[in-house]
Structure 1
Amino acid sequence: MRLDKFLKVSRLIKRRTMAKEVSDQGRVEVNGQTAKAGTNVKVGDEIGIKLGQKKIVVRVERIEEMMRKDEANSLYSLLKEERLDD
């Protein structure tokens, strides 16, 4: 599944267009490598996202084409959440 679609389906980022923008700005990593929106994501991958002053790292647990809002967090496990201080 494309990275931007996974971010949207999992509700890590609310809209796919925003997920694409964040990815293309170099603020998303997959397995430690800067990733573009079209990067393929699979189960077991670790995704790091920088949003404002926060960075979160999650592990992909499942891939689903569509997911209900209240079940979306079952697609990933939160590994780390940290505040970035400049």
Structure 2
Amino acid sequence: MRLDKFLKVSRLIKRRTLAKEVCDQNRVEINERPAKASSNVKIGDKLAIRFGQKIVVVQVEEIKENPRKEEAASLYRVIGEVPVPRDEKEEEAYIRGN
């Protein structure tokens, strides 16, 4: 499934166009690599999403094309949430879990 569509159906981001814009601004990574909106997401991938002053790291648990509202949260598991680091080394260390 495309990254922008996954962000929308999982309700991590409200609209697909907004998800695309966030990806275009290099604010989303898949498995520690910058991701485009068209990147493919699969079960087990680790997503790091920068929301303003925090980074949310989630792991993809399930992929569904059209989940109901109640099922949306089951598509991912939140690994952690951290304030935006001061430099790239801090960010990489957090995403890797060190």
User: TM class by shorter-chain length?
Assistant: over 0.9
Tell me which residue corresponds to 2:38.
38
- Cα distance between partner residues in 2 of 1:9 and 1:23: 15
Amino acid at match of 2:64: E
Q: For structure 1, which runs of at least 5 residues remain unmatched after alignment? A: none
Amino acid at match of 1:26: N
Amino acid at match of 2:72: A
Tell me which residue corresponds to 1:57.
57
Identity %: 62
- Cα distance between partner residues in 2 of 1:70 and 1:79: 20
Tell me which residue corresponds to 2:19.
19
Q: For structure 2, which runs of at least 5 residues remain unmatched after alignment? A: 87-98
Q: Deviations over 1:39-76 (max 9, x none)?
A: 00000000000010111000000000011112201000
CA displacement at 1:85 relative to structure 2: 6.0
Higher gyration radius (CA):
2
- Cα distance between partner residues in 1 of 2:57 and 2:85: 17
Amino acid at match of 1:47: L
Tell me which residue corresponds to 2:7.
7
CA displacement at 1:82 relative to structure 2: 1.0
Kindly report the root-mean-square deviation, in angstroms, between the aligned alpha carbons of the 2 structures: 1.0
- Cα distance between partner residues in 1 of 2:85 and 2:36: 25
